[in-house]
Amino acid sequence: MTGREFKNLSYQFIANITNAFSSPKRLEIIDILSQGEKDVDSLTKETNMNFANTSQHLQILKNAKIVQSRKDGVRVIYFLANDEVIRCWKNVQSLAEQNTAELREVIRLFLEEKNIFEPVSIKELRLKMKSNNIILLDVRPKEEYLNGHLPGAVSIPLSELKSKLKNLSGGKEIIAYCRGKYCVMAPEAVNLLNKKGIKSTILQDDINSWRFAGFKIEK
């Protein structure tokens, strides 16, 4: 193998990874799968695509070794290959936010529209957890909560929140979280809670940021 052949092959294999990250829909799939495995039907519904397009994106991710799959009867279940995929995705997010003012503005405007002005960081959350004066609210789907959640978090999926508001009216501050910065479930939940006079805000990170910071999650 010549030096040129070595370089061409090396960069091509790396390009396969970056190509898999080049689609907004594939990034959304990676974001969803970072919370746990899903079947194609679930991903199709979550991403608002048709079955064929979802399957095509998953095949590209699988060819790039970013996702893997297993069979469960007639269903095909997809999951991320390893934690390095999640770390890479988070690094891409950080790079985009640092270098793209437009993205920072989109995030700011969306949160402002939901009346969220002071998202809580992991460091701030840990301090608040010591006070025992908060309710940590996980508004993700139940199966994601069961796959792993922050210590002491209460599970009320966004779809059930309206019917369970009375469970959250004890005077404690609510800190809601979902899948991370680009997930809308926690902002939607906080918007609803604040309109009902229940003091609340969002955690600006997710369980993976918590894990990568060296803290344990619960199952």
Distance CA 211, CA 197 (A): 32
Structural domain spans, the chain: 3-85, 115-212
Residue 170 predicted with pLDDT over 90: no
Do 3-85 and 115-212 show the same overall fold? no
Identify whether the C-beta of residue 195 lies closer than 8 Å to the C-beta of residue 167.
no
CATH topology of domain 115-212: Oxidized Rhodanese; domain 1 (3.40.250)
Helices within the chain (DSSP H only): 3-20, 24-33, 40-47, 51-63, 83-99, 101-113, 122-131, 142-147, 185-195, 207-212
Helix (H) or strand (E) holding 152: none
Residues with a catalytic annotation lie at 178
**Whole-prediction pTM:** 0.93
Q: What is the pLDDT of residue 132?
A: 82
In this prediction, what percent of the chain has a pLDDT beyond 90?
92
The pLDDT tens digits for 114-140 are: 989 889 999 999 999 988 889 999 999
Q: Does domain 3-85 have CATH number 1.10.10.10?
A: yes
